[in-house]
Amino acid sequence: MHETVTPKVGRNAVTVAVIFLLSIAVVAVAVAFAVAKTGFVDVPVLSSFYRGPTVTRIVEPAPIDGQGLRTIVGERLYGSIARAESPYRFEVTEAEMTGALQSEIGEVIRGEAWEVEQLQIVIGPNGLECTVSLRKNGTRFEFQGIFEPVVVNGGLQFRAVSIHVGDYPVHPALGLRIAGAVFSRDFGTWVFRLGTVEFIGVELEEGVANLTAAIANSAP
């Protein structure tokens, strides 16, 4: 007669299997937690730990669009010219910038399904804080960047100093690439120009950007 041999599973094998399954579970939870902290989607339970970008203060936007902002800047510039200032000086407030951006945001978002929940620009001595919160079909995109305005060949460029996507601080170059999936304009390379006006300098204080400029070909 042939005796049937029943394989025996030792305790070590069971322990290894349990540790393996627990490791998979831990990795899965870690990945889910990481996804939840991006804010892109809601993850049951884990999204309760998501905080998202926090604005320094709430800015009440001025009722103005992009063209209106250009008109105001032009009026202030020519007021400076009339006062015979050299170089010419004028200011732009965070409320005006927030209002203009809110009115123009549809022009720089890829696609039309995004719903704007929050859009704020806060000006402080260390830079312009731009906070954007968008939603589309259950997907959320929350972005906050600190941008430093610098003069580039008579125009203004806004260079990223720091960027958060969801709860994560990311390298500015990577942050701008991620934002590029939503926005059609690269804020890191875009240069703002104003006709024949050449910007000379910009200084920031709480709530206000103070600009100095000259008319092209007549800079002192």
Residue type, 45: V
d(CA 139, CA 123): 29
Reported confidence tier of residue 90, pLDDT bands at 50, 70, 90 = confident
pLDDT at 218: 47
Q: Quick one: average pLDDT of 75-92?
A: 81
The answer to pTM > 0.85 is no
Residue 7 has pLDDT above 60, yes or no: no
pLDDT at 4: 55
Q: Quick one: average pLDDT of 159-185?
A: 80
pLDDT at 45: 61
Residue 2 has pLDDT above 60, yes or no: no
CB 42 within 8 A of CB 138: yes
211: three-class secondary structure by DSSP? strand
User: Hey, what long-range contacts does 23-28 have (CB within 8 A, 24 or more apart)?
Assistant: none
Residue 9 has pLDDT above 60, yes or no: no
d(CA 183, CA 62): 23
pLDDT per residue over 178-208, tens digit each? 777 777 666 666 777 777 778 888 899 999 9
Q: Over the range 87-102, which residues count as b (16 or more CB within 10 Å of their CB) and which as e?
A: bbbbebbbbbbbbbbb
Radius of gyration of the chain (CA): 26
217: three-class secondary structure by DSSP? coil
- The backbone torsions φ and ψ at residue 129, rounded to the nearest 5 degrees and listed phi first, read -95, 115
β-pair partners for 211:
90, 202
Distances (CA, A) of 128 to 23, 125, 147, 214: 44, 8, 5, 23
Which of 71-85, 146-160, 172-186 is predicted least confidently?
Answer: 172-186
Which of 34-48, 88-102, 104-118, 199-213 is predicted least confidently?
Answer: 34-48
Q: Which residue has the higher pLDDT, 4 or 73?
A: 73
Residue 213 has pLDDT above 90, yes or no: no
Q: Quick one: average pLDDT of 39-49?
A: 64
pLDDT at 44: 67
Reported confidence tier of residue 167, pLDDT bands at 50, 70, 90 = confident
Q: At what angle do helices 94-104 and 66-82 cross, to 10 degrees?
A: 150
Residue 16 has pLDDT above 60, yes or no: yes
Reported confidence tier of residue 123, pLDDT bands at 50, 70, 90 = very high
H/E segment holding residue 137: none
